Amino acid sequence: MGKEQKVPLLDKNGLRVDGRRLDELRPLKLEVGILDKADGSAYIEHGKNKILAAVYGPREAHPKHIALADRAVVRCRYHMAPFSTDERKSPAPSRRELELSKVIRESLEPAIMSEYFPRATIDIIIEVLQADAGTRCAGITAASLALADAGIPMRELVAACAAGKVEGKVVLDLSDIEDKQGDADLPVAFMPKSNVIGLLQMDGSLTEEEFKQALDLATDACRRIYDMQREALKQKYHVVKDEAEKEEVAEVKV
Amino acid sequence: MSVTHQLSPVAKLEQKTVHDLIVKGKRLDERNALDYRPLTIMLGTIEKANGSAQVYLGKTKVLAGVKIQTGTPFPDTPDEGILTVNAEFVPMASPDFEAGPPGEDSIELARVVDRGIRESKAIDLKKLCVQPGKKVFVVFVDIYVLDHDGNLIDAAGMAALGALISSKMQEFEVKNDELVFKDKIMPLPIRDYPVPITSVKINGSIVLDPCLEEEQVTSCRLTVTTGKDDRICAMQKGGLGVFTPDEVKQIVSTAISKSRDLRQRILSKVN
């Protein structure tokens, strides 16, 4: 390890290190229902982020004393695999992971109709297999699909994306190097139809004007991600439908 | 795992009272929505610490102490001193606090205060390097919550700032690769004064600086930390509720103007 060389984050055409425009997302891939045992699951690739999310529940609260009489308890664990980062990360939960587990839970709970399941728990497990900046946002995007996949009634899907600032310009969806060398990072989780924000954090340096610009950029990107989430959910059932049709055809042939 | 909190039975009973008042534009302690509680700051109350500050925010009491010791720098910043912020929810401060390892609330509080100080670059960490890659000064900020009557983040952030600006250390030099302390005392190299301002949403209304009864029935909170040139350096949303983008923008403007006033009052304590 040594000190990383500073590289220019914007080229002469105003494009970013990876060739993106200022308001362009990294490539995003979403898959729903990929784990067999979990009640709901989803996988996201966002840039080089590779993240799995699984949901168990609603199921009986265990231990019993955590149960609430008027709603389900939501439990959330955000964790990074030891091999997900440049330097090996200790598998023990860090303070950062504990904080993120909390803010991720608080961003998803407003979407869950937990009042339908008193005395139950809904468990959300997010495992970062490879980290590449913006893991909490990608984790939320995947976890909200896993909740939907588990059939848990939700007010709306939650989409999340970060905006930030590099070399004085407000940009969308920071990459790893932009996150490390940039001037600000603003992760946002947003429900587009209700027009509400469930997660908002910021570190770095922004003027009030830059903040407003970055917030608008992030919420706008969340709208786009929301459409991709819907598409990914539909995709799962398209496959089921296609297979059912094939089986029908096969049966007819026999 | 992070688990949904249970609302205390007392808070449930008080919820209606607080909500009804908010609808009429009133609050339990007769403040206006954007009023801050009376703030008292005492600097240097703990002589053995390099710096310390006691903050009274209404009935909330928070003490912060700074200790400066030598340590090994992080490999990615070999020529910079180290800042660590830790928060202790002392069991005497609230019937809900229990002894034991730090819970997620105290970790969140410490990390929000840490981000404010770190991201505003309040401490000139380059000046705390003794030997690059080998030895640097570590600034330990320890936050002690002594009495919890709501809005711990703001009280802790201001106590940490007060403790840092009151911090003194021995002047030092490096002779033949050895750290040598001189007789003179110098202040910690401070460049900015980050102040966190927390707003909460109660029954659809935005109010500043919640007391405990209000805090327990809030739907969500947003802490905005700003530095001396009005730049935002850290933010944190908490709670199970949601904000609209317009509410967020309004809270940010309020926080920026409020923090100017409070920063002035903290700085007036330094001679």
**Ranges of each domain in chain B:** 9-267
Q: What is the pLDDT of residue A2?
A: 42
Residues B258 and B153 sit within 8 Å (Cβ to Cβ): no
Q: Which residue of B has its CA nearest to A72?
A: B4
Residues 6+ apart with CB under 8 A from A200: A186, A187, A188, A189, B222, B235, B236, B237, B243, B248
Residues of A in contact with B120 (CB under 8 A): 205
| Residue A25 scores a pLDDT above 50 | yes
Shortest Cα distance, chain B CAs vs residue A195, angstroms: 6
Residues of B in contact with A220 (CB under 8 A): none
Interval B101-140: pLDDT, tens? 999 999 999 999 999 999 999 999 999 999 999 999 999 9
- The region, left, alpha or beta by phi > 0 then psi within -120 to 50, assigned to residue B209 is left
| Average pLDDT over all residues of chain A | 94
| Residues forming beta bridges with residue A191, ordered by sequence position | A196
**Using CA atoms, how far apart are residues A50 and B189, in angstroms rounded to an integer?**
41
Interval B54-90: pLDDT, tens? 999 999 999 999 999 999 999 999 999 999 999 999 9
Shortest Cα distance, chain A CAs vs residue B243, angstroms: 5
Interval A198-209: pLDDT, tens? 999 999 999 999
Domain at B9-267, CATH class: alpha beta
**Using CA atoms, how far apart are residues A209 and A218, in angstroms rounded to an integer?**
14
Residues 13-52 of A with CB under 8 A from B: none
H or E element: which one contains A232? helix A208-253
Q: What is the pLDDT of residue A241?
A: 73
- Interface contact flag, A204 B119, Cβ < 8 Å: yes
| Residue A215 scores a pLDDT above 80 | yes
Residues A186 and A163 sit within 8 Å (Cβ to Cβ): yes
Per-residue DSSP letters for B104-162? HHHHHHHHHHHHHHHHTT-B-GGGGEEETTTEEEEEEEEEEEEE-SS-HHHHHHHHHHH
Q: Does B234 touch chain A (CB under 8 A)?
A: yes
CA atoms within 13 A on the CB side of A193: 9
Report residue A43 as tokens: 């996988």
Which pairs from A207-211 meet CB under 8 Å and 24+ separation?
Answer: A207/B230, A207/B231, A207/B232, A208/B230, A208/B232, A208/B252, A208/B253, A208/B256, A210/A165, A210/A170, A210/A184, A211/A186, A211/B232, A211/B252
DSSP H stretches of helix in B24-126:
104-119
Shortest Cα distance, chain A CAs vs residue B105, angstroms: 8
Q: Does B222 touch chain A (CB under 8 A)?
A: yes
Residues B222 and B254 sit within 8 Å (Cβ to Cβ): no
pLDDT confidence tier of residue A4, bands split at 50, 70 and 90: low
**Ordered structural domains, chain A, with CATH:** 28-247 (3.30.230.70)
DSSP structure class, residue A151: T
**Using CA atoms, how far apart are residues B58 and A5, in angstroms rounded to an integer?**
49
H or E element: which one contains A177? helix A176-181
Q: Does A215 touch chain B (CB under 8 A)?
A: yes
For the segment A126-146, the average pLDDT, to the nearest whole number, is 98
Residues B70 and B137 sit within 8 Å (Cβ to Cβ): yes
Q: Are strands B135-147 and B168-175 parallel, antiparallel or unpaired?
A: unpaired
Q: Does A203 touch chain B (CB under 8 A)?
A: yes
| Residues forming beta bridges with residue A186, ordered by sequence position | A163
**Phi, psi (deg, nearest 5) at residue A92:** -65, 140
**Phi, psi (deg, nearest 5) at residue B10:** -65, -45
